[in-house]
């Protein structure tokens, strides 16, 4: 396969990563979902042959099996690949210090990941989820110590409220510690609530956004729409229990529009859903995973086209969310008038804040 993937800077860093990140959560068979080593290797090779260099895994994925596979797959050209892994989730159930964000778990998790990955360093080390117990100061100082020790090069944060990320990076800036350069969040046509706080924060702090769940647990592929009645009526259905998204009628409406758009432009629904999120912002690098190489090949087709403004509007409209307070309040015409002295439509804002951009267009 001819290389065709372009590259992006990872947030406020000089690190170059491919425009799609390969998620390795499917690498392994310890959980119900996943692929064996042979198929995982085919998925990896398909991604690498397309020019991809950015691999995302975690210590918890398939109880360490994913990291071992990734380490083996990249070993022949370790320096070429940007390797990302995570810590936080438990690796020994029932032991309070084998999970969480604190320094002890960070150090022991990192050492164990380095052994499984068979490498001396991690390019991007993620805090996997906020634990609400560990002080921000402890997290940022401990991560900086790992950077200074040469065991990790950059740090990122996943599944954490915007106010905590903002506080952490301001603290790092004041102390001269390593700041977060990337943010990992759930983001898709089915999950747009991150547009309230997390996405604007990432834009302001120049964080790369690496969304997971971009296909809405497979729902945006359209494969469940033929079973809509069954899944909505049987709340105890196994699939509905595994993915609550399948129990929401609104999500089926969104998936149906994706299917219609795909037919209109001659693309697959998964390609449309991925393309929509790619076009949200230049700092977005979606994480794509697959159980089979053929699935990944199809997903890579999202790089071959662009959605027109009209198509984007169709998808935006069907998936629109209530922005809530203070966002909806600050977009009110009367409030805009008194805040900007009636001049909000006459001010050119090079920072492109969404409120003023919409106001200038008269939306």
- Does 154 participate in catalysis according to the annotation? no
pLDDT at 350 over 80: no
Q: Does residue 281 register a pLDDT over 60?
A: yes
- The edge-to-edge listing of strands for the beta sheet with 152-158 is 208-209, 180-184, 152-158, 122-127, 82-87, 54-56, 21-23, 287-288
Query: Which of 145, 200, 186, 192 has the alpha carbon at shortest distance from 319?
Result: 192
User: Residue range 74-93: average pLDDT?
Assistant: 97
How does residue 18 score in pLDDT terms, banded at 50, 70 and 90?
A: very high
Domain chopping of the chain, boundaries: 7-318, 327-361
Per-residue pLDDT tens over the stretch 284-336: 999 999 999 999 999 999 999 999 999 999 999 999 999 999 999 998 999 99
Q: Which residues contact 225 (CB under 8 A, 6 or more apart)?
A: 252, 255, 256, 259
**pLDDT grade for 352, boundaries at 50, 70 and 90:** low
pLDDT digit string, tens, across residues 122-131: 999 999 999 9
| Residue 313 in tokens | 């509007």
- Alpha-carbon distance 36 to 28, whole Å? 6
pTM of the predicted model, to two decimals?
A: 0.92
| C-alpha 12: how far from chain center | 17
Confidence check: pLDDT of 351 > 90:
no
CATH 3.20.20.100 fits 7-318, yes or no: yes
pLDDT in tens, 197-236: 999 999 999 999 999 999 999 999 989 888 888 888 776 6
**Residue of 61, 87, 154, 224 with catalytic role:** 61
């Amino acid at each position: 396969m001819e290389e065709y993937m372009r590259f992006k800077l990872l947030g406020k860093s000089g690190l170059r990563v491919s425009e799609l990140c390969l998620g390795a959560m499917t690498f392994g068979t310890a959980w119900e979902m996943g692929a064996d080593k042979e198929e995982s290797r085919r998925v990896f090779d398909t991604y690498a042959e397309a020019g991809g260099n950015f691999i995302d895994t975690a210590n918890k994925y398939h109880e360490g099996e994913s990291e071992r596979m990734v380490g083996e797959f990249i070993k022949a050209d370790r320096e070429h690949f940007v390797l990302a892994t995570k810590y936080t989730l438990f690796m020994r159930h029932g032991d309070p210090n084998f999970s969480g964000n604190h320094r002890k778990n960070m150090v022991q998790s990192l050492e164990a990941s380095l052994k499984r990955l068979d490498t001396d360093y991690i390019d991007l080390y993620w805090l996997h989820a906020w634990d609400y117990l560990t002080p921000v100061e402890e997290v940022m100082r401990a991560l900086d110590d790992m950077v200074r020790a040469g065991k990790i090069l950059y740090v990122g944060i996943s599944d954490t409220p915007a106010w905590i990320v903002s506080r952490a990076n301001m603290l790092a800036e004041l102390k001269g510690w390593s700041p977060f350069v990337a943010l990992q969040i759930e983001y898709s046509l089915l999950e747009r609530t991150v547009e309230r706080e997390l996405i604007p924060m990432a834009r302001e702090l120049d964080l790369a956004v690496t969304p997971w769940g971009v296909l809405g647990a497979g729902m945006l592929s359209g494969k469940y729409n033929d079973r809509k009645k069954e899944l909505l009526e049987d709340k105890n259905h196994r699939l509905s229990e595994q993915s609550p998204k399948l129990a929401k009628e609104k999500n089926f409406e969104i998936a149906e529009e994706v299917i219609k758009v795909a037919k209109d432009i001659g693309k697959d629904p998964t390609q449309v859903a991925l393309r929509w999120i790619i076009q949200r912002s230049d700092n977005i690098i979606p994480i794509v995973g697959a159980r089979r190489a053929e699935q990944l090949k199809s997903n890579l087709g999202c790089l071959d086209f662009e959605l027109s403004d009209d198509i984007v509007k169709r998808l935006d409209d069907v998936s629109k969310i209530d922005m809530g307070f203070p966002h909806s309040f600050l977009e009110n015409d009367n409030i805009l008038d008194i805040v900007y002295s009636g001049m909000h439509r006459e001010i050119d804002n090079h920072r492109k804040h969404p409120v003023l951009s919409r106001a200038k267009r008269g939306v």
